[in-house]
Amino acid sequence: MRATGVHEDVIVVESRVWRTTATVVRSGSEAFVIDSPVFPDELELLPALLDQASFPFSGLLATHGDWDHLLGRLAFPDAALGLAETTAARLRAHPGAAQRALRDFDERHYLSRPAPLTLGSLEALPVPGYCGLGEHELELHPADGHTVDGMAIWIPWARILVCGDYLSPVEIPTPEASLDGYLATLARLEPLVEQAAYVVPGHGGPIEAADALVLLREDREYLERLRDARGSASALPPGRRDAEQRRLHAANQARLREAGAP
């Protein structure tokens, strides 16, 4: 697990698997952990990391309901979990789905955990909206399209955007819910990226805003080509053309064909 300070009040932790990120943000005597690392030893180290950095833990947030972003309660079992109202509705509509996905992952990788995942108390947050943290407020912005739910989190005093599974330098866009919704989220994120010092995607570690703008334009072009081609071959973005990205691209094509079927 790698930890990177991108502001005096913001630390980004990057998991060894899928380069999944968790962002710790502090204001005064409070600190939130946004999303989560994945491996058991990474989660075990997270409370000590916050203590060493003098980030007083006070709560959890998750950008969306995919299981690999929901594991904060394994590190902080008594904490409430703040989610967009759309994410809370998704989790309530599919009880146990995240736990089953985590169990499948652990079985494939021969992992054991000291306790099962329990999501516990869910705090549904209005999005768009604000979430108080110490002396400041976090801005919450809708971020659906990759999934049916989600939010991006703008940290205004640090000029850092935590955007969930968008703008990844290592993964192509995967519009599992809606291609048009994904494009709409990119349009909402663009002015925030233009103001940012850093952008923290869900996979790939923190990136400077100029690089994130390049990714945003590449992702938009990729999705527009994918939509216009209706599932035929579409060029992958530069730097994201490995075997796994080709597999994800094929899944995008299949999903688009299915959505267009009579």
Residue with tokens 């691209």: 249
User: What's the pLDDT at 261?
Assistant: 47
Q: What is the pLDDT of residue 120?
A: 85
Tell me phi and psi for residue 208, to 5 degrees: -70, 155
**pLDDT tens for the 262 residues of the chain, in order:** 899 999 999 999 999 999 999 999 999 999 999 999 999 999 999 999 999 999 999 999 999 999 999 999 999 999 999 999 999 999 999 999 999 999 999 999 999 999 999 998 899 999 999 999 999 999 999 999 999 999 999 999 999 999 999 999 999 999 999 999 999 999 999 999 999 999 999 999 999 999 999 999 999 999 999 988 765 666 899 999 999 999 999 999 999 888 874 3
Do residues 65 and 90 make contact, with C-beta atoms less than 8 angstroms apart? yes
> What CATH number has the domain bearing residue 113?
3.60.15.10
Q: What is the pLDDT of residues 194-249, one digit of tens each?
A: 999 999 999 999 999 999 999 999 999 999 999 887 656 668 999 999 999 999 99
Q: What is the extent of the structural domain holding 122?
A: 2-260
> pTM of the predicted model, to two decimals?
0.95
The total of structural domains in the chain comes to 1
Task: Say if CB 137 and CB 171 are below 8 A apart.
Answer: no
Contacts for 141 with CB less than 8 Å, ≥ 6 apart: 127, 128, 151, 152, 153, 154, 188, 189, 192
